[in-house]
Structure 1
Amino acid sequence: MRVLAMDTSNLVLSVAVVEEDRILAELTTNQQKNHSVRLMDAISELMDETGTLPEQLAGIGVAKGPGSYTGVRIGVATAKSMAWSLQIPVIGVSSLEAVAMNARGFSGLIVPLFDARRGQVYTGAFRTKDWAELSVVAEERLVLLRDWLASLKEQAGNERVLFMGEDLRIHRETIAEQLGEQALFAPATHNHPRAAHIGLAALGKLAEGGHPHEMVPEYLQLAEAEAKWLAQNPACGVKE
């Protein structure tokens, strides 16, 4: 079975075609470019290079957020549209988990994070044993970084904590200040999500289904414009 996977949820654009436990092709870039313009070209290129016809796909995996609102929407909308037209499952994979997958084999606490501005981060905590799947220690959340670090210090005890993600460069000083030598920072090669990880994760979940109408993005917060509108129209947010 072959799966097409994609991640446009943040700055990185990553697309892959995987088959069982084999990565047939993968393209990953980390440039400030328009995902909406480049995604379909990347998909077409990899499908051509691997000789994959649309009808050969058993499913589609996609990073479902959190991350950039626009980026998440581009990937999710593309994946759902393709899955619907091909009548195949679409599997959403956490964007944070996609980064954390790079740390399989690490014996401590794995903490991916994305900057969410105003001192906040999208984050969660995971563990893995040997090279097995990740287990969730702390659910994904939007939180003030300083509050999150205090919580992690309590949870981890004397355990080392591995921080991951492209946005580490923004928050590294604060993390080091609060956790000191307990904090480890992933190298640049481990900070970017890989669509291949998403594809392999999706392969393992195809049996669970994944109807395109049921897959929804995970933003963890309202878009700024929506939040402002609700603040100005509070009655519209009240449900009986």
Structure 2
Amino acid sequence: MKVLAIDTSNQAMSIAVIEDSKIIGELTTNIKRNHSERLMPAIDELMNDVHWNPSELDRIVVAKGPGSYTGLRIGVTIAKTLVWTLKIELVGISSLKMLAGNCEMSPHYLVPLFDARRKNIYTGLYQWQNGELIQVEADTHISAEKWAEYLSKKEGTFELIGEDRFLYKDTFEHYLTNRVYEAPLKDHLPKAGVLGLLGLHEEPVDAHTFTPDYLKLAEAEENWRKEHPDQLEEAYVEKI
């Protein structure tokens, strides 16, 4: 199976091509530039580098969120467009699970996190069990303090993963004291190669109904929905 994996859920942009269980190529950048301008040229570059034709692809795996509202829409829209055009499979994987997947076979509970502003985070809880990455607690949008306090009631040790961990390191250390660790530096950026491997054995989804998992609406949309409680999300999308 030939797979293209796409992640634009945060500042970093990562794409990879996987054949069966082997990462053939991967491209990751971590700069503040518009994913909408860079994603398709990057895909073209990587596909050319590995001498693949788009018609050879069997599946697209995309990071489905949580993360940047705009970034997620860009990645998911391009993934769905490729799926429709090429008539191939689509799989969505949690952006947080992808990050947790960087820490292969870690003995700790894995705590991937993204900053969600106002002292809130997007996070979840994962663990390697018998060679498989298992979701222990569902992905959520929560205050960092409440999450750290909740984790403090669980037994075990915890590993923080993500570029934004330093924003909340003191909070986690306060509640978890000597039971919290930071992942190695190489593991804090999302990697589309990991994303693609996680998506190899997942069931494909219906591309027509697939949407990102925002966990929390953008502030502009939240305000709009309060003012238009009887209208659907599609009406908001049309308005903007």
Which of the residues 172, 177, 181 maps onto 1:175? 172
The secondary structure found in structure 2 opposite 1:103 is coil
The secondary structure found in structure 1 opposite 2:70 is helix
CA contact (8 A) 2:60 2:90 kept: yes
Distance change (3 Å), C-alpha of 1:136 and 1:224 = same
* Equivalent-residue separation in structure 2 for 1:160 and 1:149 (angstroms): 12
Query: 1:160 maps to which residue?
Result: 157
Query: 1:124 maps to which residue?
Result: 124
Query: 1:133 maps to which residue?
Result: 132
| 1:194-230 CA-partner distances (Å, limit 9, x unpaired) | 101111122212xx33231132100001121111122
The secondary structure found in structure 2 opposite 1:98 is helix
Q: Percent identity?
A: 42
CA RMSD of aligned residues (A): 1.3
| 1:97-127 CA-partner distances (Å, limit 9, x unpaired) | 0000011211121110111011110000011
* Equivalent-residue separation in structure 1 for 2:75 and 2:228 (angstroms): 30
* Equivalent-residue separation in structure 1 for 2:179 and 2:44 (angstroms): 44
Query: 1:189 maps to which residue?
Result: 186
Query: 1:232 maps to which residue?
Result: 227
CA contact (8 A) 1:107 1:129 kept: no
Residue correspondence of structure 1 range 7-86 to structure 2 within 5 A = 7-86=7-86
Letter in 2 for 1:227: E
The secondary structure found in structure 2 opposite 1:65 is coil
* Equivalent-residue separation in structure 2 for 1:34 and 1:209 (angstroms): 28
Query: How many residue pairs get matched?
Result: 232
Letter in 1 for 2:206: H
The secondary structure found in structure 1 opposite 2:168 is helix
User: Runs (4+) of structure 1 moved beyond 6 Å?
Assistant: none
* Equivalent-residue separation in structure 1 for 2:89 and 2:45 (angstroms): 22
Are 1:209 and 2:209 counterparts? Answer: no
Are 1:106 and 2:101 counterparts? Answer: no
TM, length-normalised to structure 2: 0.93
The secondary structure found in structure 1 opposite 2:101 is helix
**Structure 1 residue 146, shift from structure 2 partner:** 0.7
TM, length-normalised to structure 1: 0.93
Query: 1:93 maps to which residue?
Result: 93
CA contact (8 A) 1:15 1:195 kept: yes
* Equivalent-residue separation in structure 1 for 2:47 and 2:226 (angstroms): 45
Q: Which moved more, 1:75-84 or 1:175-184?
A: 175-184
